Amino acid sequence: MAKAAKAISYRSKNKTTCPVCRFEFAKENLHSGGGRLIAGALTEELRRLYEVSKKFGRVYPLAYEMVICPQCLYTSFSNDFEKLDPTEVEALKNATQERKAGAHRIVGPVDFNQDRNLVSGAISYVLAIDCYQKRDMSCAPTPKKAICSMRGAWLFSELDEEFPGMGYDNIVEFLYMKAGTYYAPTLEIMSNGREPHDQFIPLLGPDTDKNWGFDGVIYLNGYLTRKYLERLAPTKEKKIEILDLCKRHLGKLYGMGRASSSKPSIIIDLAKDLYEAISEQLDELMGVESQSA
C-alpha cells in the first residue's frame, strides 16, 4: 500500500473566532523542516528564493503568513488578528461585501476553507492591505501595509509567470507602487515613533527567513524610490529632493563599517551599489537643471 503524501501545512487544534463576523475556523500553518523549504538565492529586493522540493514540489512560505477569516475575509498578521476595537470591527464589517467583490475581481472565486495555495496566498496580502486601511495607529498599519505590498507583489509575479496574460502583471506593478508609497513613511515612523515599534519590528522582513530591520527599510525605500521615481515625484525638484534623502540614508547604512553578524556583507554591498546608482541619477538630474537655468 502506497504511503500517503506528507502534508505541507496543518490546522491549529484550537479554533480561532473572527472578531468581525464571529465565524470559527482553524488557522492553517506551514510545517517546518522535512525538506519542504530549500533555500536558494537572495534577490536585490531582499526576497529569499526557494528551490523546488522533490518531496513537496514548489512551496510558497509567504502564502501561509496571513490569518484570513474564510467567512468575511478579514485578514491580518497573526499578532493583531483579534485586537480590534468596536470602531474597527464596525468598519471592517461594513466593508465585507466590498472585500469579497474585490478579491473576486482580481483572482476569481477562492475558498479559504481549503488549503492555502499560490492564488489564495497572493490575494491574502491585498486583503490585508485593505483591512489595515481600516485599522487605527495602535497596530502600526503603515509598516504592515508596506510589507504586505512587497510580499503581494512577489506572489503575484509568480502567478503572472504561471498564468501569463491574465492581468496579474498589472497587480504586480500596482503593489510595488503601493510599497513605494508606504516605505518612505515607514522610515519616518521608525525615527519618530508615531506608530508603536513593538507592533511591527518583528515583522519587517521583508521576507520570513531574515528580518533586515531598519537597514532593510532604508534599503528598500531607496530601491523603490529609484524604481518608481517618475510616479512618486511629479517635478524635477521633487525627484532631486527625495533621491538626495535616500542617498544620505544609504550612505549611513553602508558607511557604518565592516560586515558583522548583525549587518552581513550582502546588505552593505546592495546599499553601496544602490547609493552609486542614485548618485549617478542625481548627477544627471542636476546637470540637466544647470543647463536649463
Question: What pLDDT is stored for residue 182 in this prediction?
Answer: 97
Backbone φ, ψ for residue 264 (5° rounding): -60, 160
Residue-wise pLDDT for 205-234, tens only, equals 999 999 999 999 999 999 999 999 999 888
Residue 270 lies in a domain: no
Q: What is the largest CA-CA distance in the chain?
A: 81
- The phi and psi torsions of 40 (rounded to 5 degrees) equal -115, -140
Tell me if 278 is assigned to some domain. Answer: no
Q: Which residue has the cell 475581481?
A: 105
DSSP per-residue letters across 20-88:
TT--EEPPEEEPPSTTS-EEEEEPTTSPEEEEPBTTTB---GGGGSSEE-TTT--EE-GGGSS---HHH
Q: Is residue 150 part of a domain?
A: yes
Res 265: pLDDT: 85
Rg of the chain's alpha carbons, rounded to an integer?
20
Q: What is the reported pLDDT for 44?
A: 95
Containing domain of residue 59, as a range?
9-232
Is the pTM of the predicted complex or chain greater than 0.85?
Answer: yes
- 44 — phi, psi (to 5°)? -70, -10
Per-residue model confidence (pLDDT) at position 180: 94
In a domain, 111, yes or no: yes
Q: How many CB atoms lie within 10 A of CB 11?
A: 13
Residue 257, in any domain of the structure? no
Question: CA nearest 82: which of 131, 142, 16?
Answer: 16
Reduced to 3 states (helix: H, G, I; strand: E, B; else coil), residue 181 is helix
- Residue 292: the pLDDT is 41
Number of domains in the chain: 1
Kindly state the cell numbers that stand for 123: 490575494
List the pLDDT tens digit at each of the 293 positions of the chain.
334 457 889 999 999 999 999 999 999 999 877 778 888 899 999 999 988 888 888 889 999 999 999 999 999 999 999 999 999 999 999 999 999 999 999 999 999 999 999 999 999 999 999 999 999 999 999 999 999 999 999 999 999 999 999 999 999 999 999 999 999 999 999 989 999 999 999 999 999 999 999 999 999 999 999 999 999 888 999 999 999 999 999 998 877 555 555 667 899 999 999 999 999 999 998 885 444 43
| Residue 61 located in a structural domain | yes
- pLDDT given for residue 163 in this prediction: 94
User: Residue 227: which residues within 8 A CB-CB, separation 6 or more?
Assistant: 176, 180
172 assigned to some structural domain? yes
Residue in this structure with the C-alpha cell 548583525, named with its chain if needed: 262
Residue 291 is predicted with a pLDDT of: 44
- Domain assignment present for residue 242? The answer is no
Tell me the one-letter amino acid at 137. M
